[in-house]
Chain A
C-alpha cells in the first residue's frame, strides 16, 4: 500500500511538473493576438504575426474571442496584443487605460466610416442621399419584425457606441420625429446576422438600410453608400454623422518589458481604412489570410519597412522570397 502511494505521488509530481513547464513555456514564448469576428483584424494579425515570426523570431498565436472577452483577457494578460481596438465601442476603454490594465501604443487607422448605409442601386433609383430621404420610401423597407406601417433600420449589436448613438437618433423626437414615425431601429446582436440581412437583400436587389462600417469586406465587394445627416454631430442627441473611431493597437501591461523590440515595432504600426480595404479584397481573391498578408507585405514595402529596423526588414524580406 505504502509503495502504491509512493508511486502515485511520484506520478502526481511528474504531472504537476509537466504542467508547470508547459505553462511557463506558453507564457514566455508565445505572443497572443486577439482576433475578433471581423476580417480586417484577421489581416492585421497575419501581418503582425509574420513580422513577429520572421523579423524577430518570436512565436505567436491568434486567439478568437468576442470583444468583451478580449478586453477582459487584455486586463489579465491572457491576451497580449489587440491589433484593432475599436476604442469608442468599448465602454470601459478610458477607465482601463487610466487603471493601467493595458496601454494604447499606436493608432492603426482612424479614417473609417460608420453610420447608416444603403446599397448603391437604391440611391441611384430613388435618390436617397440623406436619412430624411428614407421617409417617403418607407414602404420598401417594411418588415414583419417591426410595427405595422414602419420600415426597418438594421442596427448593430446593442451596447456598441454606434448602436447607442443611432438609438439616440431614433429617440430624438424633435429633429427625427418623422423618421422614427416611419422607421423602427432594430439592433441585431450579431454582426454575422447583420451581414446576412445585407447580403441577402443586395443579391436580390431589395431595399435595405442599416448600420455598417468600413473597412469590412461588404464594402470591398458591394457598392454601398453612406447616408448623410445634415445636422451637427452630438452623441447624446443622436444628431449628425458619426465621426471616425480611432482604431488603436493596445498591448497588455508588462508587454514592453517582455518584448521591448516588438513593442517598438507595434508603436509604429499604422495603416489606413483604404489600405485595409484593399487588403480585404486581396484576402477575398486569394481565399487565404496568410497568403494575402504575404502578398501585401511584398507589394507595400514603403508602408511597413519604416515600422521596423533595417535588419528586421531584411529578415522579413528573406522570408517573403
Chain B
C-alpha cells in the first residue's frame, strides 16, 4: 500500500530524449556548413598558437618566466615559477605542455570574446540576467560527457571539440564577474558621468569598464583556471597533451606517472595564476597612481 503512494507513478513517465536526438540530428544536418567553418577557424588558430609557442626554445621560456616573476613580485617568486616550469620539462612533458597550453589559450581567448560582451549586456538588461544566470549554472554543472558526445558528432574528434568543451566550462566565471564588476560601479561615479552628458558608449568605455577592470581580470583568471581543469576531460575526446598522459597512467594503475602528469597540470595552473594575478595587481597600481 505504502509503496503505491511512495513510488513515482509509472504512467507519468515521459521520455523526452527522442526530441533531443532529433534536435541534434537537425542541428548537424542544417548547420553542417557552420560547424565546418568553426572547425577551420579553431584549427587555424590552433596551428598558429602552437607554432608560436613551439618555436621558442625552452630556456627562453624559463628565462622570460623568471624575469616576469621577478618584475611582478620578487626574485624568489621568479625562481620558484621558473623552477616549476623546469620541472615540467624534466618530467618529459614539454611538448605535451605546449599542446595543452594552446588549447587553454584558445579557449580563454574565445571565452573572452564571448564572455565580455555577454557580461556587459547582462548588466544592462535584467531580463537577460534572469535568463542567463540559470544557463550559466547549467553550463558548469552539466556533466561534460553529456554534451561531449554531441560535440563529437558535430565537430569530429580532437582539438576542436576539446576547445569547444573547455570554452563551455570556462566561460561562465568571466560572464558573471564582468556583470558583477559593471553592476558594482559606484552610483556617484555614474551620476557624475550622466551630469557631464556622456553617451551610453562613453559611459561604458570611459567609466564602467575601467572601473570594473579589476573584477573582470579576476574573472579572466578564474576562466583560465577552469580551462586548465578541463584538460583531462578534453583528452577523452581525442585531444593530446598532458591530460592524455594522466589518462594513460591511471588506466595502467601507474600511480607515480599519474602524479607526475597531474602535478604538471598543477604547475601550469600555478604559473598562469601567478602571472595573471601579478599583471592585474600591476594594473591596479598604475590605475591608482593615475
Contact = CB atoms under 8 A, between A and B. Distances in A.
Interface of A: 66-68, 71-72, 91-92, 143-145, 157-160, 186, 188-190, 192-193, 196-197, 200
A74 to B, nearest CB: 12
A145 B47 CA distance: 11
Contacts of A186: 238
B252 A189 contact: no
Interface residue range, chain B: 20 to 34
Given A72-B253, A189-B235, A193-B238, A145 B247 contact: no
A144 B251 contact: no
Given A144-B43, A158-B244, A71 B253 contact: yes
Contact of A188 (B149, B157, B250, B252): B157
Contacts of B152: 193, 196-197, 200
A230 B139 CA distance: 50
Contacts of A158: 244, 247-248, 251
Contact of A197 (B157, B236, B248, B252): B157
A192 to B, nearest CB: 7
B262 interface: no
A193 B157 contact: yes
A68 B252 contact: yes
Contact of A144 (B39, B149, B153): B39
B256 to A, nearest CB: 14
11 contacts: A68-B250, A72-B253, A143-B158, A144-B43, A144-B160, A159-B248, A186-B238, A189-B251, A192-B145, A193-B237, A196-B157
A145 B157 contact: yes
A223 B157 CA distance: 23
Contact of B237 (A66, A160, A190): A190
B156 interface: yes
A145 B153 CA distance: 15
A212 to B, nearest CB: 15
Interface of B: 39, 43, 145, 149, 152-153, 156-160, 235-238, 244, 247-248, 250-253
Contacts of A145: 156-159, 238
A204 to B, nearest CB: 10
Main secondary structure of the interface of B (DSSP, over half): helix
Nearest to B153: A200
Contact of B247 (A71, A72, A189): A189
A196 B153 contact: yes
A203 to B, nearest CB: 9
Given A145-B158, A189-B235, A190-B236, A68 B251 contact: yes
A144 B237 contact: no
Contacts of A144: 39, 43, 156, 158, 160
Contacts of A159: 248, 251-252
Nearest to B39: A144
Of B43, B152, B244, most A-chain CB atoms within 10 Å: B152
Nearest to B232: A189
Given A144-B158, A189-B251, A192-B149, 18 more contacts: A91-B252, A143-B158, A144-B160, A145-B157, A145-B158, A145-B238, A157-B247, A158-B251, A186-B238, A188-B157, A188-B238, A189-B235, A192-B236, A193-B152, A193-B238, A196-B152, A197-B157, A200-B153
Given A144-B39, A186-B238, A67 B251 contact: yes
